[in-house]
Structure 1
Amino acid sequence: MKRTAVPLLLVLCLALAAYFIFFRSKEKDRPVEATLLLDSSALGITTIASGLNVPWEICWGPDGQIWFTEQSGSISKVDPRTGEKKLLLTIPEVFRKRSLGMLGMAIHPQQPYIFVDYTALKPDSSVVSKLVRYTYTADTLKNPLLLMELPGATGHNGSRVAVSPDGKVIWSTGDATRGANAPDTASPNGKVLRLNTDGSIPADNPYPGNPMWSRGHRNIQGLAYTDKGHLFASEHGDAMDDEINYIQKAAFYGWPRIEGLADRDDEKPYADSFPFTPPAKAWTPTIAPAGIAYYHASKIPEWQNAILMTTLKTSSLRVLQLNAAQDAVTGEKIYLGGIFGRLRAVCVSPDGDVYVATSNRDWNPGKGFPIEADDRIIRISPVAKTHNPIRPLKEDTLAVTLSKGQALYKSYCDACHKADGKGIQGSFPALDGNALVNGKPQALVKIILNGQSGNMKGGEQMPAFKFLSDADVTAIVNYTRKSWSNKAYEISFEDVERFRKR
């Protein structure tokens, strides 16, 4: 035994040494690109995967790797230590167009299942959303099982899947661009749905025989459970009131009659007449919230007991502090604004590292993006302090650097019509040189106040901004009519006041 023990010990030592030499050398090849300074922590930012095609969801896999979907229809994984990528599956029937495609994914923590959400076309060219379960073994995804299919649309198809602490499948669905779907208990759209892993309906759902768990949602973009089992969801508003909601059984969240906190005169009577659950927090101007994750590790103490939320429009990582009961948001801090472009998804490793995926190669890229490395997955983890800090943004930056009209345009118009006024061909019309913008101002004011289907022949619907004050509308109109190549005359506050009444 003594003769065999020594060689065996030697083999184990050599194997361990080889492991550390191989992986640590690989890790050293992945440099820290910048540091983010918190109160007492310095966080290093490192790219672990690049050249991706809109990673929509990222999850911590059962093998210690990052599993991710790409919008064009693939599921892959990447080793966070080495950056080695491996394609697991491509689903040919995925239909990608603008915000449609391969979307959410969740991995069951106890069973060998992953659940994916994607859009597809039926033979009549209508859009459907599908929730499909795959069984995984090592690097293979097999035995697809369709759990549920529901009507889709050219937008507002929702995007996220989660697994509840009791092992149920949670699926968020959008209103499919029809607001009336959201409160309708007979429609699966505009809901949080709850299913068993085989697609059957749990006996303890609030409506017998119905997968609905909550209703009144416009377009949920993120789902996450806290360590106490509380479910939160991020949600896109229309022209105002993006939301983070604490999702509760049988709760009604108000869309389309209520946006945000029911603080407008036209919302209050409805909120008084129907049981309504207000959001934990709302944002106007909108920020386009995307994926969320719960953080409770000691590795980054400043972020303990917080919802981490990525955003598209403001290209930022938001840290939403929760109260001890985990049913309310008590604070918010904003990081990385505009540095990596649009941020789509976030996940947390078991030891507390944070991973974020960019979304710069999607249908609505921001100024200066995509760059050559896009899209990518970055890691945020503690490091020693360096001389390359990225500091939290201040929320009043716009007020300091921009005129009122330009700041309002950036908040409400820039995401679609772009800073240069060129828009996006086939989706959002150019405002630079636009005949309607340069014509009689009443028509432009009316569209801003009331919205328009087809958005000035641009393809996408324009929301109504009637909640803006006359002074704000005046500033936006005059900025637009005097910017780029536009040379139209300015209008007055009284003009807008008069146009609103007509």
Structure 2
Amino acid sequence: MKRTGILFLIIVILAAGTYWLLRPASTIDFDQPVEATLQLDKTTLGISTIASDLNVPWEIAWGPDNQIWFTEQSGTISKVDPHTGVKKLLLTIPDVYRQRTLGLLGMAIHPDKNKPYVFVDYTHLNKDSSIVSRLVRYTYTADTLKDPLLLLELPGNTGHNGSRVAISPDGKVLLSTGDAARDQNAPDTASLNGKVLRLNTDGTVPADNPYPGNYMWSRGHRNIQGLVFTDKGQLFASEHGDATDDELNRIEKGGYYGWSRIEGYADRPDEKAHADSFPFIAPLKAWTPTIAPAGIDYYHYDKIPEWKNCLLLGTLKAASLHVLHLNGAQDAVTAEEILFAGKYGRLRDLCVSPEGDVYIATSNRDWNPGKGFPLPHDDRILRIAALKPGQSVPATAIRETAQQTPAPVATTSGATLYKNYCEACHKPDGKGVPASFPPLAGNPLVTGSAPPLVQTILRGRTGDTKNKNSAYGEQMPAFNFLKDEEIAAITTYIRNSWGNHADSIGVTAITKERQP
């Protein structure tokens, strides 16, 4: 009798444990308190933190075990239980090379249970100091990532290495690559840089790729930071522009997207001429001033009906979540809403659970944090979910509001123009970013004679981290698209801010320097 009772107890415990592991996520309350709310048209959203003190989570993905898997730029892959916040380290990749934008980047988990593969992309430093990007496949078994298989290795650089990984509806691997800071790579069919690549899961070239024997799926990209398929199988990419025209592109087989001859919509005479000779696919949306778009995901759930058939886009420079409403054919953006501007800092990536909850990873401990960041316990993974009817919210919860995309307003305010085009790199205090972007405060180039400063703004500068005599490694794009009066306003502002004192530079001087 005693043995029967013990056996019954064991069965009950096993059954309870099995239910806990296989439970529907919607039946369990989350442990984390609601920190803020957001009222949409009919739905009230609650925002809470499910993980904190992370080291730049670059990719987050919903795992096969109903937990959130994430990469950290330093080289680790972990997962976190969204209900309890308990984290578990899965893998440390020792040969990851992290520096500024380099490190462990994109990751994708194959949805086919018969193919328990995890694909990751990271930068590596060779013994000869050359940088490469590697796409590696791991096999997932019982909380272990093992059997690494190098699928692809391509040239890298100190910037513009991409990258995101996505799995297509037909089970292929899509990898976005940056142009490795070499403009000529992007259109070149012989280069794998500046492309969206398509591979079989074993690293071979699919037979139906547009160029036989070539991984290339599309070309003419500068530095894609987000990649996602919709429910209709459409592939979208978010892409960093240079000084103008960050882009949202719908990626098509064999498509040419114009970089570096075309930025945005081909609205300059030279761009139109190039487009006439080399047909290109224009972006669905372009942003100037730039917003630094990052990770992107597609929302098609009923839980937040206001977001159904929307792309959710995190941004770095704009430090906000953009909700991009698509039309039925998914070939146009019909509306845009901006959420959380400046509230949580840089938003690197996001994912959507099968229940329709949204998770967002901040990126405030990376190389270029915004003013006032990182916050204590950054970086974090946030949960955005519809509140249940009657669900109590702490009195301390902050009420957020949504805003429509503001219409562009012409301005000749030096402070406003600086904020739009210069502040992300040179910072609000003019101190720049060590080893990346030079300070403007106390800089002789800024306060000296007009021609060198104006020429730098008009033509840009090339960074060089390999040059021991160069203190700043990041490139500065040309801002010759700005009007003469706008450049005059910016130069006057920076020459008389942060303790600088120098004469104004007039429009006539700008016009003179612009002439060949």
Q: 1:199 to 1:332 in 2, by over 3 A?
A: same
Map residues 191-270 of structure 1 onto 2, 5 A cutoff. Answer: 191-270=195-274
Rounded Cα–Cα distance in structure 1 between residues aligned with 2:53 and 2:310: 30
Alignment partner of 1:406 out of 395, 399, 415:
415
Instruction: State the one-letter code of the partner of 1:54.
Output: V
Aligned to 1:63: 65
TM-aligned CA deviation for residue 309 of structure 1: 0.5
Aligned to 2:314: 310
Rounded Cα–Cα distance in structure 2 between residues aligned with 1:474 and 1:233: 35
Aligned to 2:510: 496
Aligned to 2:110: 108
Q: Is the 8 A contact 2:412 2:486 kept in 1?
A: no
Map residues 27-42 of structure 1 onto 2, 5 A cutoff. Answer: 29-42=31-44
Aligned to 1:80: 82
Instruction: State the one-letter code of the partner of 1:70.
Output: E
Aligned to 2:467: none
Structure 2 residue 108 is matched with structure 1 residue 94: no
Query: Any idea what SS the aligned residue of 1:132 has?
Result: strand
Alignment partner of 2:401 out of 374, 377, 391:
391
Per-residue CA distance 1:37-81 (angstroms, 9 max, x = gap): 111111100100000000000000000000000000000000000
Deviates more, 1:451-460 or 1:475-484: 451-460
Per-residue CA distance 1:383-438 (angstroms, 9 max, x = gap): 158663111245449979x9821111111111110000000111111100110100
Rounded Cα–Cα distance in structure 1 between residues aligned with 2:514 and 2:471: 23
Rounded Cα–Cα distance in structure 1 between residues aligned with 2:244 and 2:131: 27
TM-aligned CA deviation for residue 498 of structure 1: 2.0
Rounded Cα–Cα distance in structure 2 between residues aligned with 1:281 and 1:322: 11
Q: Is the 8 A contact 1:35 1:385 kept in 2?
A: no
Instruction: State the one-letter code of the partner of 2:481.
Output: F
Rounded Cα–Cα distance in structure 1 between residues aligned with 2:281 and 2:299: 24
Q: Is the 8 A contact 1:337 1:393 kept in 2?
A: no
Rounded Cα–Cα distance in structure 2 between residues aligned with 1:182 and 1:210: 15
Rounded Cα–Cα distance in structure 1 between residues aligned with 2:10 and 2:55: 46
Query: Any idea what SS the aligned residue of 2:210 has?
Result: coil
Rounded Cα–Cα distance in structure 2 between residues aligned with 1:80 and 1:209: 42
Query: Any idea what SS the aligned residue of 1:338 has?
Result: coil
Deviates more, 1:77-86 or 1:378-387: 378-387
Rounded Cα–Cα distance in structure 2 between residues aligned with 1:18 and 1:248: 43
Per-residue CA distance 1:146-175 (angstroms, 9 max, x = gap): 000000000000110000000000000000
Query: Any idea what SS the aligned residue of 2:275 has?
Result: helix
Query: Any idea what SS the aligned residue of 1:167 has?
Result: coil
Unaligned runs of 5+ in 1: none
TM-aligned CA deviation for residue 15 of structure 1: 3.4
Rounded Cα–Cα distance in structure 2 between residues aligned with 1:53 and 1:142: 23
After TM superposition, the runs of 4+ consecutive aligned structure 1 residues lying more than 2 A away are 7-21, 23-29, 384-388, 393-400, 454-459
Rounded Cα–Cα distance in structure 2 between residues aligned with 1:101 and 1:18: 38
Query: Any idea what SS the aligned residue of 2:49 has?
Result: strand
Aligned to 1:469: 483
Q: Is the 8 A contact 1:30 1:46 kept in 2?
A: yes
Q: Is the 8 A contact 1:181 1:189 kept in 2?
A: yes
Rounded Cα–Cα distance in structure 1 between residues aligned with 2:234 and 2:44: 29
TM-aligned CA deviation for residue 9 of structure 1: 12
Instruction: State the one-letter code of the partner of 2:255.
Output: A
Alignment partner of 1:431 out of 418, 440, 452:
440
Unaligned runs of 5+ in 2: 465-469
Q: 1:398 to 1:364 in 2, by over 3 A?
A: farther
Instruction: State the one-letter code of the partner of 1:79.
Output: D
Aligned to 1:444: 453
Map residues 476-491 of structure 1 onto 2, 5 A cutoff. Answer: 476-491=490-505
Map residues 166-177 of structure 1 onto 2, 5 A cutoff. Answer: 166-177=170-181
Aligned to 2:376: 372
TM-aligned CA deviation for residue 375 of structure 1: 0.4
TM-aligned CA deviation for residue 13 of structure 1: 12
Q: Is the 8 A contact 1:399 1:407 kept in 2?
A: no
Q: 1:396 to 1:327 in 2, by over 3 A?
A: closer
Structure 2 residue 132 is matched with structure 1 residue 128: yes
Aligned to 2:284: 280
Q: 1:285 to 1:385 in 2, by over 3 A?
A: farther
Structure 2 residue 150 is matched with structure 1 residue 141: no
Identity %: 65
Q: Is the 8 A contact 1:336 1:393 kept in 2?
A: no
Deviates more, 1:76-85 or 1:384-393: 384-393
Q: Is the 8 A contact 2:96 2:122 kept in 1?
A: yes
Q: Is the 8 A contact 2:337 2:405 kept in 1?
A: no
Q: 1:26 to 1:306 in 2, by over 3 A?
A: closer
TM-aligned CA deviation for residue 454 of structure 1: 2.9
Instruction: State the one-letter code of the partner of 1:348.
Output: V
Q: Is the 8 A contact 1:291 1:310 kept in 2?
A: yes
Using the size of structure 1 for normalisation, the TM-score is: 0.94
Instruction: State the one-letter code of the partner of 2:430.
Output: G
Rounded Cα–Cα distance in structure 1 between residues aligned with 2:483 and 2:181: 27
Q: Is the 8 A contact 1:53 1:70 kept in 2?
A: yes
Q: Is the 8 A contact 2:458 2:479 kept in 1?
A: yes
Instruction: State the one-letter code of the partner of 2:262.
Output: I
TM-aligned CA deviation for residue 102 of structure 1: 0.1
Q: 1:385 to 1:180 in 2, by over 3 A?
A: farther
TM-aligned CA deviation for residue 12 of structure 1: 7.3
Rounded Cα–Cα distance in structure 2 between residues aligned with 1:226 and 1:139: 29
Rounded Cα–Cα distance in structure 2 between residues aligned with 1:462 and 1:363: 16
Q: 1:260 to 1:432 in 2, by over 3 A?
A: same
Instruction: State the one-letter code of the partner of 1:75.
Output: I
Per-residue CA distance 1:181-225 (angstroms, 9 max, x = gap): 000001000000000000000000000000000000000000000
Alignment partner of 2:425 out of 416, 420, 433:
416
